[in-house]
């Protein structure tokens, strides 16, 4: 069952990230390295400038007492200075620890304590305030450096410094100790830890994943070769710094090839910035693609009838032949090719331009299953969207789909240099050079995750299909059995529900039960627009979710899923019998989702036990009060009388026939 | 939210490179810059304001409160020069006059926002804020039309100022959006942006937080405090939300039926029995 793909890695001339930076400053000093939109204008730093900024900041850190082996917390959105701070820490042999910037102070405190943070760099006042709040219980944080000083004029705390001030300090230090920086940089070795990334904590407390320079650079080299990236490429950095994908796809690939990173003006302007930059390489979890498509569809529905008609007729052409044209298939009639070319001119081209995807060579999605309509939509209009599979512990990069070898329901073949094995219980095991060094200060957890043969246990259940593509079904531990022995794969069912634009989140229950039930979160944008179109008035999420017509709408979706499930002998027994629409959106602030927006199944089952009981007791409605946490940390209460509805189930297709 | 007047507090890296150039410590409440004496205003038989006197000091946040129809907006319009009082005198920057004149007032550095949003709905946020620079524009119609020479450099300078305001109020994402498409809370913020673009010394805000939810109010409070703190702008505001007024203002003047019934710090005003009865609606 083992799938091996041995291939030697091309030797990189530099073995650590700081050396790569130095190399870029020498080979391509005047090429753009990073851009940021500031006051409405894209500001550019070339490689030579980035090198000197990083050097100044590194020396400044050293002047404050930052030493080899220390950790630097990095908290904020994608800003050039935060990337430079990570590079600077690495130059000194320190380890950057990026954190999720939207986490409340309490969540941050755990990571800051676990990672033994002394130095932190924060983006702005909001993050600085959080750090000072944490500092009361965690006095070891000795220096806080801030990028954007707005609102901090009256902060007199001696441990607070501005980024520019530290750089100034660093330039003085550099003049006084001219040998220091290069000595420190040369002392770094490839085996040292380059970065610690905390897992999102789907199960239990977050764990710090340590990656060495060697593992990261080897993986990034594989990635760069896989898609042929070079210094002319552009990437928009908009995903959280704390997520491995941002470090690997943005920062590491940039240092390796010299491609240019682009930082958006603010998290709200990403769509506009995307259009202005026109990146050539794009990565996003399925929900990002879904949001874009939802926006497009809403705007098309609001457009004039002629545009609407044109869009729909050419999308039909794209659906018919677009995928085959993208895959370079032969045997497509000239008339279809002509139609498609016309569509490119009138619809697909302008659409891609508006979305900022005109120049995309390759786009990836991963982390969650992607809906068939969604996937085909992008591919049919000529965007080379592909899937990949991986996790923080393996530097992502376990399997990826090669251009021209793309399937909807798989994650592709194992990457060069990655060995994938399926355990007897169906769990996917991985061995590669990109594996983590271990969990920070958790040898017990490391030993549990990596076995004696060096295989990492992913915890995902999957299998190889006939073509050698890996197919992932669910988390191994979530796959259960219903009372009658039918296989119950909750995520599989939830994903099918979530493929409908009206459904934002779903949680399915059924392990050990007679029948399957589900909670549904409606998508406020899509359902809101749908309601507006029909003249249904509503005051907010809770009100909209309780509307009779919305329940009918969702019931249709549930029944379509049931029809789908009925086709599958293994899963026909797990059709959804009853469902309810939750009165509030599941939210990471209420611990219902992880920061990467994965459902925390067990937590939800405990929190809403009363609703689950009502679903199985066959009640028509259930009253519930729920505490919610607002973004500023205040608590509030939402209560509602939730309706519970039944959905039609279907007999198994084969039996019926 | 209340700022401490602790003199020990130092500036945070003063004089350092920063997006906002005016980051010097301007927040020291100074002498009286606007003094209104015995203002009376009536429309026909209706007496809107009766013998009202109060003053505004440099760099302070001065609130005008009162029940509906108390004459708050009329008071603001008198300061602004829209209404000319029948009696009383106004001393502004040492110059005594009977009434203010809106154009002159604008040139002298007073900007305002309105209770009912008064933006150009069809124009983008950026263009709307650009109109706030109107009083500062020097080049003529012709050179502007062909965007040549001085006009071009001037526009670039104005645009930079506008971008600083956009950055300050965190509205980058709606820069190119027509104002009419924006939700109410954001329109209010755009109106503040337009007023700020004029780089005023004194800012008149007519119910800046009306119709906002808690979160929007908090944001707006922060912006008002930041404007006052970072640019040293004197602020006169009308507001209904007592929590907001008591939290952010330095001194409060209370009007009721066109008469002044209280004046002082928020604490003093809250203890004033006349104010309490006006708000609880007892004896009249």
Lowest mean pLDDT among A200-209, B78-87, B207-216, B222-231: A200-209
A157 touches chain B (CB under 8 A): no
Instruction: Assess whether A379 and A521 both reside in one domain.
Output: no
Q: What is the pLDDT of residue B9?
A: 34
Q: Do B12 and A268 touch (CB under 8 A)?
A: no
Buried b (16+ CB within 10 A) or exposed e, A22-40: bbbbeeeeebbbbbbbebb
A255 and A298, same structural domain?
Answer: no
B-chain CB neighbours of A155 within 8 Å are 12
Residues in chain B closer than 8 A to A41 (CB atoms): 163
Number of domains in chain A: 3
**Cα(B98)–Cα(A64) distance, rounded to whole angstroms?**
61
Tell me the nearest-neighbour CA distance from B70 into chain A, angstroms.
33
Beta strands in A392-426 (DSSP E): 396-400, 413-414, 418-422
Higher-confidence position of A287 and B196: B196
Which of A475, A508, A537 is the C-terminal boundary of a domain? A475
State the count of interchain CB pairs (< 8 A) between A and B: 67
A11 within a domain of the structure (yes/no) = no
Do A150 and B20 lie within an 8 Å CB cutoff? yes
Contacts of B10 in chain A (CB under 8 A): 156
**Does A470 share its domain with A527?**
no
> Whole domain around residue A519: which residue ranges?
480-656
pLDDT score for A201 = 65
Contact B176 A153 (CB under 8 A): no
Compute the nearest-CA separation of A434 from chain B (Å): 38
The reply to whether residue B12 touches residue A265, judged by beta carbons under 8 angstroms, is no
Cα torsion through A317, A320, A326, A332, rounded to 10:
-100
Percent of chain B topping pLDDT 70: 89
What are the two backbone dihedrals, phi and then psi, of residue A421, each rounded to the nearest 5 degrees? -130, 140
User: B9 touching A, CB under 8 A?
Assistant: yes
* Residue A499 pLDDT: 82
ipTM confidence: 0.74
Topology of domain B33-109+201-284, CATH:
Rossmann fold (3.40.50)
* Helix-helix angle A524-533:A548-566, to 10 degrees: 120
| Residue A597: CATH number of its domain | 3.30.300.30
Same domain, A127 and A270: yes
At B20 the pLDDT is 34
**Contact across the interface for B172 and A154, Cβ inside 8 Å:** no
With beta carbons under 8 A apart, name residues in chain B contacting A265: 172-173
Q: Which residues of B touch A150 (CB under 8 A)?
A: 19-20, 168, 226
Residue A553 lies in a domain: yes
> Residue A215 maps to which CATH number?
3.40.50.980
Residue B116 Cα, gap to closest chain A Cα (Å): 23
* Of the partner residues A39, A164, A630, the one whose CB lies closest to the CB of residue B167: A39
pLDDT of the residue at A565: 83
Q: Answer whether B166 sits within 8 Å of A40, measured CB to CB.
A: yes
Average pLDDT of each block of 10 consecutive residues along chain A (657 residues)? 37 80 94 93 95 96 94 95 96 95 88 94 93 90 91 86 95 95 93 91 80 94 92 93 92 94 92 92 89 85 91 92 85 90 94 92 87 88 92 91 86 92 86 93 91 92 84 80 81 86 90 90 90 89 91 93 80 88 88 82 90 90 85 80 88 54
- CB contact (8 A) between residue A40 and residue B164: no
Mean pLDDT for the stretch of residues B1-29: 40
Residue B13 to residue A154, Cβ atoms within 8 A: no
Q: Is residue A3 one of the residues assigned to a domain?
A: no
Task: Report d(CA A9, CA B127) in Å as an integer.
Answer: 55
**What local confidence, expressed as pLDDT, does residue A409 receive?**
77
Same domain, A441 and A536: no
Q: Decide if A40 touches B, using CB distance below 8 A.
A: yes
Q: Which of B9, B167, B176 sits opposite A156 (nearest CB)?
A: B9
A373/A419 same-domain check: yes
pLDDT tens-digit map of B180-195: 999 888 999 999 999 9
**Do A153 and B23 make contact, defined as CB atoms within 8 angstroms?**
yes
Helix (H) / strand (E) element for A117: namely strand A117-122
Residue of B3, B18, B172 with shortest CB distance to A265: B172
Q: Do B163 and A40 touch (CB under 8 A)?
A: yes
For A39, nearest residue in chain B (alpha carbons):
B163
The pLDDT assigned to A634 comes to: 79
Using the Cβ of A152 and the Cβ atoms of chain B, whether some distance falls under 8 Å is answered with yes
Residues A445, A535: one domain?
A: no
Q: Which of A221, A256, A280 marks a domain boundary?
A: A280
Domain extents in chain B: 33-109+201-284, 119-199
What residues of chain A, 408 to 427, have a C-beta less than 8 Å from chain B? none
Q: Is residue A10 part of a domain?
A: no
**Inter-chain touch A266–B23, beta carbons under 8 Å:** no
Do both A543 and A598 map to the same domain?
yes
Bridge partners, A385 (sequence order): A363
- Confirm if A508 and A571 have CB atoms less than 8 A apart: no
Q: Does B170 touch chain A (CB under 8 A)?
A: yes
Measured CA angle at B165 (ends B161, B170), to 5 deg = 145
Q: Single out the residue of B149, B84, B138, B77 nearest to residue B107, CA to CA.
A: B138
Residues on chain A touching B229 (C-beta within 8 angstroms): 153-154
Read off the pTM.
Answer: 0.80
Q: Are A275 and A302 in the same domain?
A: no
Q: Considering only alpha carbons, which residue of chain A is nearest residue B24?
A: A153
- Do A429 and A551 belong to one domain? no
Choose between A129 and B14: higher pLDDT. A129
A39 touches chain B (CB under 8 A): yes
From B226's Cα to the closest Cα of chain A, the distance in A is 7
The verdict on residue A6 lying in a domain is no
Cβ of B12 within 8 Å of Cβ of A632? The answer is: no
Average pLDDT over residues B86-94: 88
Which candidate, B101, B262, B132, places its Cα nearest to that of B203?
A: B132
Cβ contact, residue pair B18, A149, below 8 Å = yes
Total residues found in chain A within this entry? 657
Nearest CA in chain A to B126: A40
Question: CATH number of the domain that A311 lies in?
Answer: 3.40.50.12780
Query: What pairs with residue A36 in β-bridges?
Result: A43, A263
Gap from A161 CA to chain B (nearest CA, Å):
8
Query: Average model confidence (pLDDT) for chain B?
Result: 83
Q: Does B229 sit within 8 Å of A156, measured CB to CB?
A: no
Predicted local distance difference test score (pLDDT) of residue A71: 95
- Name chain A contacts of B129, Cβ cutoff 8 Å: none
Same-domain pairing of A84 and A117: yes
Closest-CA distance, B270 to chain A, in angstroms, reads: 27
| Cβ–Cβ < 8 Å for B222, B135 | no
Give residues 260 to 279 of A whose Cβ lies within 8 Å of B.
265-266, 268-269, 272
What is the structure's pLDDT at A572? 81
What pLDDT does residue B282 have? 58
Both A323 and A273 in a single domain?
no
A635 in contact with B, Cβ within 8 Å:
no
Bigger pLDDT: A614 vs B143: A614
Q: Which of A385, A441, A387, A1 is nearest to A209 (CA)?
A: A441
DSSP secondary structure letters along B200-266: -SEEEEESTTTT--HHHHHHHHHHHHHIIIII--EEEEE-S-HHHHHHH-SEEEEEETTEEEEEE-H
- Across the interface, of B12, B159, B173, the residue whose CB is closest to A155 is B12
At residue A612, the 3 state secondary structure works out as helix
Rounded to 5 degrees, φ, ψ at B216 are -65, -35
Residue A636 in contact with partner chain B when CB distance is under 8 A:
no
pLDDT of residue B175: 92
Of the three residues A280, A296, A318, the one that is the final residue of a domain is A280
Set of chain A residues whose Cβ sits within 8 Å of the Cβ of B163: 39-41
Please give the pLDDT value at position A526.
87
Q: Is B267 on the interface with A (CB under 8 A)?
A: no
Looking at residue B8, its pLDDT comes to 35
Task: Locate the chain B residue with the closest alpha carbon to A168.
Answer: B16
Q: Is B284 on the interface with A (CB under 8 A)?
A: no
């Amino acid at each position: 069952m083992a799938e091996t793909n041995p291939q030697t890695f091309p030797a990189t001339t530099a073995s650590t990230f700081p050396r790569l930076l130095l190399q870029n400053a020498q080979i391509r000093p005047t090429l753009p390295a990073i851009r940021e939109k500031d006051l409405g204008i894209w500001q550019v730093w070339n490689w030579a400038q980035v090198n000197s900024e990083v050097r100044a900041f590194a020396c400044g850190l050293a002047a404050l007492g930052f030493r080899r082996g220390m950790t630097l917390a990095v908290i904020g959105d994608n800003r050039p200075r935060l990337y430079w701070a990570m590079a600077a820490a690495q130059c000194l042999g320190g380890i950057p620890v990026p954190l999720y910037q939207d986490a409340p102070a309490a969540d941050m405190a755990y990571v800051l304590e676990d990672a033994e943070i002394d130095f932190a760099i924060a983006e702005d006042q909001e993050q600085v305030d959080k750090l000072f709040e944490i500092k009361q219980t965690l006095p070891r944080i000795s220096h806080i450096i801030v990028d954007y000083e707005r609102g901090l004029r009256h902060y007199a705390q001696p441990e607070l410094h501005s980024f520019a001030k530290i750089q100034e300090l660093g330039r003085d230090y550099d003049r006084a100790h001219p040998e220091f920086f290069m000595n420190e940089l040369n002392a770094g070795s490839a085996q040292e830890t380059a970065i610690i990334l905390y897992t999102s904590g789907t199960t239990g407390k977050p764990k710090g994943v340590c990656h060495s320079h060697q593992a990261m650079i080897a993986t990034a080299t594989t990635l760069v070769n896989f898609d042929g990236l070079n210094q002319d490429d552009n990437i928009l950095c908009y995903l959280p710094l704390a997520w491995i994908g941002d470090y690997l796809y943005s920062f590491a690939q940039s240092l390796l090839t010299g491609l240019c990173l682009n930082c958006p003006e603010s998290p709200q302007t990403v769509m506009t910035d995307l259009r202005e930059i026109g990146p050539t390489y794009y990565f996003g979890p399925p929900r990002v693609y879904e949001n874009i498509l939802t926006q497009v569809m809403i705007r098309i529905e609001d457009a004039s009838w002629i545009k609407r008609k044109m869009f729909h007729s050419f999308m039909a052409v794209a659906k018919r032949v677009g995928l085959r044209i993208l895959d370079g298939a032969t045997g497509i009639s000239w008339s279809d090719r002509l139609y498609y070319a016309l569509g490119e001119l009138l619809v697909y081209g302008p659409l891609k331009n508006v979305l900022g995807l005109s120049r995309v060579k390759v786009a990836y999605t991963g982390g969650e299953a992607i809906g068939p309509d969604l996937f085909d939509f992008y591919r049919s209009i000529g965007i080379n969207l592909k899937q990949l599979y991986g996790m923080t512990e393996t530097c992502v990069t376990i399997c990826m789909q090669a251009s021209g070898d793309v399937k909807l329901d798989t994650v592709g073949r194992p990457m060069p240099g990655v060995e994938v094995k399926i355990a007897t219980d169906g769990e996917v095991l991985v061995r590669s050079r990109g594996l983590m060094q271990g969990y920070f200060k958790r040898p017990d957890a490391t030993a549990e995750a990596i076995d004696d043969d060096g295989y990492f246990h992913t915890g995902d259940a999957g299998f190889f299909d006939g073509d050698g593509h890996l197919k992932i079904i669910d988390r191994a531990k979530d796959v259960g059995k219903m009372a009658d022995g039918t296989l119950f794969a909750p995520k599989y069912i939830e994903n099918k529900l979530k493929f409908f634009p009206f459904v934002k989140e779903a949680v399915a229950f059924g392990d050990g039960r007679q029948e399957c039930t589900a909670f549904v979160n409606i998508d406020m944008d899509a359902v809101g627009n749908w309601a507006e179109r029909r003249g249904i008035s509503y005051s907010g999420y809770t009100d909209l979710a309780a509307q009779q017509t919305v329940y009918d709408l969702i019931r249709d979706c549930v029944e379509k899923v049931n029809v789908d499930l009925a086709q599958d002998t293994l899963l026909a027994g797990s059709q959804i019998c009853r469902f309810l629409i939750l009165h509030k959106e599941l939210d990471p602030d209420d611990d219902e989702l992880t920061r990467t927006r994965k459902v925390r199944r067990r937590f939800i089952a405990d929190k809403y036990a009363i609703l689950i009981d009502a679903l199985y007791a066959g009640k028509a409605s259930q009253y519930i009060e729920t505490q919610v946490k607002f973004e500023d940390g205040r608590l509030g209460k939402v209560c509602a009388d939730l309706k519970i509805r039944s959905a039609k189930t279907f007999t198994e297709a084969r039996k019926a026939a | 939210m209340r700022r401490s007047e602790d003199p020990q507090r130092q500036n945070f890296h003063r004089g350092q490179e920063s997006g906002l150039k005016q980051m010097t410590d301007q927040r020291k409440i100074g002498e009286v810059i606007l003094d209104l004496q015995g203002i009376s205003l009536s429309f026909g038989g209706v007496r809107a304001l009766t013998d009202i006197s109060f003053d505004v000091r440099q760099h302070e946040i001065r609130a005008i409160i009162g029940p509906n129809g108390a004459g708050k907006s009329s008071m603001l319009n008198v300061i602004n020069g829209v209404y000319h009082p029948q009696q009383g005198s106004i001393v502004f920057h040492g110059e005594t006059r009977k009434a203010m004149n809106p154009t002159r007032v604008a040139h002298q550095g007073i900007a305002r926002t309105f209770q009912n949003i008064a933006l150009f709905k069809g124009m983008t946020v950026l263009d709307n804020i650009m109109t706030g620079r109107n009083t500062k524009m020097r080049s003529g119609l012709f050179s502007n039309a062909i965007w040549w020479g001085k006009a071009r450099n001037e526009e670039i300078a104005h645009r930079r100022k506008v971008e600083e305001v956009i950055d300050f109020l965190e509205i980058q994402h709606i820069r190119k959006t027509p104002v009419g498409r924006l939700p109410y809370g954001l329109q209010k913020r755009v109106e503040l942006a337009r007023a700020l673009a004029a780089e005023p010394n004194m800012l008149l805000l007519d119910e800046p937080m009306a119709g906002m939810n808690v979160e929007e109010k908090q944001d707006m409070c922060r912006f008002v405090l930041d404007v006052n703190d970072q640019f040293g702008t004197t602020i006169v505001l009308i507001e209904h939300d007592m929590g907001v007024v008591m939290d952010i203002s330095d001194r409060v003047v209370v009007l009721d039926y066109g008469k002044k019934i209280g004046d002082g710090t928020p604490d003093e005003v809250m203890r004033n029995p006349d104010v309490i009865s006006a708000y609880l609606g007892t004896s009249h």
